[in-house]
């Protein structure tokens, strides 16, 4: 047994995967996983989907308690790390305990942004990031008549879909001119706008909320927009994006920009410290641009890459990004990163759904699909092959990704 | 509670108790059965929860839906007619005694 110790800060998707992958890659030293949240590490995506309906928290755990014992992973939940001392190689918890490391992995994730809106403190104004938030939201949703969602990104729209299923009236207010604008193409935004409107949800695009309205008892009664319009509602979800938890790193003197800076091996500016997932930005192997992704795929593939490096098998990070969002019975899937696209082909296959193929300089960049798992998986396979896919070649196959992936 | 038996690629059998309404994938994870990764947590996004339903049980579990089949096409191990994504099989009293075989690899 090696006497090395890896300490992981943050017991979310990436932190859990880090511990599990170190063991599956054969690491025999000590592993300490310190997380601020109580209980066993759990999955976040269902919090805005199935969990709001079934409320079953036990189903969210990645693994039972026994897994941590069997794999000799020391799990310290309910504990916040408040400081890193890179010179002495230890972290200090909020209760003052010092825990030494040979290698440290920062998997602190991100937190919700508090937008510049007056009266955010009112009762029935909620956010959604962790299990406690989701349980609160679920409990209050059944008593709500009209929920107002501030922010038309993935989490806001997933929540809107569930709330509509509960028979609650929903109004979404989004500052941008279209839904999920940061990540999806215009064609996909349009598709989902029609979906949500078709289910009775009101979507106000290009509008900013300036203040929340007090009903006189400290509870929210609606919102006022920057143009003076008032919209009534008895519950508000703030879903206006996230910001990386990178303060621990910056206070320890590590390089930080939009999140913690890491190189293609997921190393921070201190070689004894790595960072992964939502809290870090890394060089995208395709474009070379620095990107920060908020996805299960990035957190878990980062963790696997770090585990391989720490067990003597280093390789530059090269995984194909993928993402999904479930809204009602529509499943959006994205393979690759679309930024920098200069041409786009949108198809509506006979089987239903939507396929949007994005190209840059005549080369396949990313694919967005709605209810088309085979096109999505074909795109992932093509992008992972490392061979450039020319638009002309795809055009020769009528842009049928499945046919093309089979043919090459 | 229905019992489910998982058979490892080497032939080792593990029998565990499942809760009604859980998926076969959730049952494996909750009981520490190795060999199912379930990266996407049951969203039918990863094909890392692949299993082979024992021939005797196929009539009761049913075969994969079209969407499930599309995902299975990308599973790491050989796909056979009895291949399923274990996150898509819901445990009911009807499946008491179900046996599933695990593939060589999930990733
Ligand atoms: C409601 C919701 C739905 C989502 N749906 C999807 C989806 O459908 N598909 C998808 O791909 N992605 C989805 N995501 C995004 C995905 O969950 C995240 O990208 C992923 O969890 C990132 O993993 P991570 O390990 O970087 O951070 P997290 O999973 O957020 O974990 C970070 C953990 O670190 C802890 N922490 C932070 N600071 C400290 C500290 N100082 N000391 C100790 N602990 C600390 C936090 O409490 C947290 O538990 C969703 C996210 C949310 C909130
Ligand atoms: S758990 Fe991902 S497809 Fe079944």
- Closest by CA to A356, choosing from A365, A343, A369, is A369
Domain stop point among A216, A238, A260 = A238
Residue A316 lies in a domain: no
Does residue A351 have a pLDDT over 80? Answer: no
Half-sphere exposure of residue A148: CA atoms within 13 angstroms, side-chain side? 25
Q: What is the pTM of this model?
A: 0.96
pLDDT band, residue A292 (cuts 50/70/90):
very high
Helix (H) or strand (E) holding B59: helix B58-61
- Which pLDDT does position A177 carry in this prediction? 98
Q: Are residues A33 and A96 in the same domain?
A: yes
A323 is a domain residue? no
What average pLDDT does range A136-159 have in this prediction? 97
Decide if A131 is inside a domain: yes
pLDDT one-digit tens code per residue, A354-402:
999 999 999 999 999 999 988 999 999 999 998 999 999 999 999 999 9
Handedness of CA A292, A296, A298, A300 (dihedral sign): positive
- Rg of chain B over Cα atoms, rounded to whole angstroms, equals 12
Q: Is A321 within the bounds of a domain?
A: no
The stretches of A263-349 forming alpha helices (DSSP H) are 296-310
Contacts with A45 from chain B: Cβ below 8 Å: 40-41, 43
Average pLDDT along chain B: 94
Q: Are A44 and A332 in contact (CB under 8 A)?
A: no
Q: How confident is the model over B18-28, as a mean pLDDT?
A: 94
A2 pLDDT band, cuts 50/70/90, is: low
Say whether both A289 and A381 belong to one domain: no
d(CA A277, CA A299): 4
- Tokens at A299, concatenated: 């957190």
What gap in Å lies between CA A398 and CA A350, rounded to an integer? 13
Give the nearest chain B residue to A323 (CA atoms): B45
Residue A319 belongs to some domain of the structure: no
Domains identified in chain A, total number = 3
pLDDT at A3: 74
Residue A234 sits in the same domain as residue A118: yes
Does B60 fall in a domain? yes
Return the pLDDT at A349: 82
Rg (Cα) of chain A, in Å, rounded?
Answer: 22
Q: Is residue B52 pLDDT above 80, yes or no?
A: yes
Residue A346 sits in a domain whose CATH number is 3.30.390.30
Ligand 1 mutation target, pool A296, A320, A328, A334, most atoms within 8 A of CB: A296
- Mark yes or no for CB contact A374/B73 under 8 Å: yes
pLDDT over threshold 60, residue B92: yes
Residues A29-44: what's their mean pLDDT? 97
**A288 in any annotated domain:** yes
Tell whether A55 and A196 lie within a shared domain: no
* CB atoms B22 and A45 under 8 Å: no
Residue A340, pLDDT above cutoff 50: yes
The arithmetic mean of pLDDT across residues A245-274, rounded, is 98
Q: Do residue A248 and residue A284 come from a single domain?
A: yes
Domain that holds residue B97: 3-101
Q: Which residues of A touch B44 (CB under 8 A)?
A: 331, 373
Whether B107 is in a domain gets the answer no
pLDDT at A400: 95
Q: How confident is the model at residue A267 (pLDDT cuts 50, 70, 90)?
A: very high
What's the whole-number mean pLDDT along residues A298-321?
97
Separation of alpha carbons A84 and B56, rounded Å: 57
Q: How far is the CA of A47 from the centre of ligand 1 (A)?
A: 11
Range of the domain at A91: 5-111+243-310
Mean pLDDT of A93-107: 97
Selected for mutation to probe chain B from A23, A324, A330, A373 (highest B CB count within 10 Å) is A373
How many angstroms separate the CA atoms of A260 and A14, rounded? 15
Per-residue confidence (pLDDT) for residue A365, from 0 to 100: 97
pLDDT band, very low/low/confident/very high, at A1 (cuts 50, 70, 90): very low
Whether residues A107 and A247 fall in one domain: yes
State how far the Cα of A196 lies from the Cα of A159, in Å rounded to an integer. 11
Residues of chain A contacting B, Cβ within 8 Å: 43, 45-46, 58-64, 66-67, 70, 296, 300, 322, 324, 326, 331, 333, 371, 373-374, 377, 380-381
CATH of the domain at A274: 3.50.50.60
Domain boundary among A214, A238, A262: A238
CATH number of the domain within which B26 lies:
3.10.20.30
pLDDT for position A58: 87
**Does residue B67 sit within a domain?**
yes
Select from A238, A261, A291 the last residue of a domain: A238
> Is A361 in the same domain as A295?
no
A145 domain residue, yes or no: yes
Report angle CA A48, A332, A18 to the nearest 5 degrees. Answer: 65
Q: pLDDT of A173-232, one tens digit each?
A: 999 999 999 999 999 999 999 999 999 999 999 999 999 999 999 999 999 999 999 999
- Cα–Cα distance for residue pair A159/A50, rounded to 1 Å: 10
Q: Which pLDDT belongs to residue B5?
A: 98
A68 in the same domain as A53: yes
The domain total for chain B is 1
Q: Which of A19-28, A95-104, A269-278, B36-45 has the lowest mean pLDDT?
A: B36-45
Q: Could you tell me the distance, in angstroms and rounded to a whole number, from the CA of residue B25 to the centre of ligand 2?
A: 8
Q: pLDDT averaged over chain A?
A: 96
In a domain, A199, yes or no: yes
Question: Which whole number is the average pLDDT over A35-44?
Answer: 97
- Strand A242-244 and strand A169-174: the pairing is unpaired
Q: Which residues of A touch B43 (CB under 8 A)?
A: 45, 324, 326
Structure-token pair, residue A8: 């992981």
């Amino acid at each position: 047994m090696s006497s090395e110790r890896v300490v992981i800060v943050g017991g979310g998707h990436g932190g859990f995967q880090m511990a599990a992958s170190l063991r599956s890659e054969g690491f025999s030293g000590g592993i300490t996983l310190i997380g601020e949240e109580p209980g066993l590490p759990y999955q976040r995506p269902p919090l805005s989907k199935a969990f709001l309906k079934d409320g079953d928290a036990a189903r969210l755990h990645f693994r039972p308690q026994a897994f941590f014992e069997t794999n000799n992973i020391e799990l310290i939940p309910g504990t916040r790390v408040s400081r890193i001392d890179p010179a002495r190689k230890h972290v200090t918890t909020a209760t003052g305990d010092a825990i030494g490391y040979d290698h440290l992995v920062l998997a602190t994730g991100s937190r919700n942004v508090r937008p510049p809106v007056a009266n955010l403190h009112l009762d029935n104004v909620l956010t959604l990031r962790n299990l406690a938030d989701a349980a609160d939201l679920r409990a209050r949703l059944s008593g709500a008549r009209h929920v107002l969602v501030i922010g038309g990104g993935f989490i806001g729209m997933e929540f809107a879909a569930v709330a509509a299923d509960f028979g609650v009236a929903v109004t979404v207010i989004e500052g941008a001119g279209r839904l999920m604008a940061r990540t999806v193409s215009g064609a996909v935004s349009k598709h989902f706008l029609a979906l949500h409107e078709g289910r009775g949800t009101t979507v106000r695009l290009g509008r900013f909320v300036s203040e929340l309205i007090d009903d006189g008892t400290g509870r929210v009664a609606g919102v006022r927009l920057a143009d003076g319009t008032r919209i009534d509602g008895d519950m508000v979800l703030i879903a206006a994006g996230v910001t990386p938890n990178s303060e621990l790193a910056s206070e320890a003197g590590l390089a930080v920009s939009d999140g913690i800076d890491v190189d293609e091996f997921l190393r921070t500016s201190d070689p004894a410290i790595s960072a992964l997932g939502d809290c870090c930005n890394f060089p995208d192997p395709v474009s070379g641009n620095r990107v920060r992704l908020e996805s299960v795929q990035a957190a878990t593939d980062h963790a696997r890459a770090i585990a391989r490096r720490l067990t003597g098998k280093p390789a530059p990070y090269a995984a194909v990004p993928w993402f999904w969002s479930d809204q009602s019975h529509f499943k959006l899937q994205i393979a690759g990163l679309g930024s920098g696209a200069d041409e786009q082909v949108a198809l509506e296959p006979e089987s239903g759904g939507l396929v949007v193929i994005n190209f840059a300089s005549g080369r396949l960049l990313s694919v967005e699909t709605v209810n088309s798992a085979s096109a999505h998986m074909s795109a992932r396979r093509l992008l992972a092959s490392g061979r450039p896919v020319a638009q002309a070649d795809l055009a020769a196959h009528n842009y049928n990704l499945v046919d093309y992936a089979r043919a090459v | 509670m229905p019992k489910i038996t998982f058979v490892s690629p080497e032939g080792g059998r593990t029998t565990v108790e499942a809760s009604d309404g859980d998926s076969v994938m959730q049952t494996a994870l909750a009981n520490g059965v190795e060999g199912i990764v379930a990266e996407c947590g049951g969203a039918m996004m990863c094909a890392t929860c692949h299993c082979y339903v024992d021939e005797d049980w196929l009539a009761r579990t049913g075969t994969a839906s079209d969407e499930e089949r599309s995902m299975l096409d990308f599973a790491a191990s050989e796909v056979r007619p009895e291949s399923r994504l274990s996150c898509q099989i819901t445990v009911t009293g009807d499946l008491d005694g179900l046996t599933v075989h695990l593939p060589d690899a999930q990733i």
